[in-house]
Structure 1
Amino acid sequence: MERYFETITRKYLDIRGKMSFMFLNVDMASAYLTKGLEEDSDYVIEVVGDDLKLKKCPGAAGNEAC
């Protein structure tokens, strides 16, 4: 499963002017895969029930809020 996500996310990283959405069930994925996908993404949104939390966005560093 990790090899699959590595392949599909790396394949599209250099496309400009496009936005892709990927939904990942973090209960099924390893911490390694989750961390890697978050590092390679510009935006990371966590969905818990009906709540959304913006965890990562361009221009924010470390624990800085988006």
Structure 2
Amino acid sequence: HELVAVEDHIPEQPGEIELRVGDIIGIAGNHWDGYSKGMNKRSGATGLYPSYKAIEKWRIVDFPPLS
């Protein structure tokens, strides 16, 4: 599934990735230490970012009416 960045992130440690508000992130896993691993689809970079800086990207789909 995908997430969308809601805050910018400037990497502070090796292995972290940059995020800009609106970036789409392909999630690779949650490290359960406040960081998640993912791929920034804008930059192509893969690495860690603070989990709270991204939220689920929802897709709204039309369903046909039930008859």
TM-score normalised to structure 1 length: 0.29
- Which structure's CA Rg is the greater one? 2
Specify which structure has the bigger relative contact order, considering alpha-carbon pairs within 8 angstroms and separated by 6 or more residues.
2
Greater per-residue helix proportion: 1
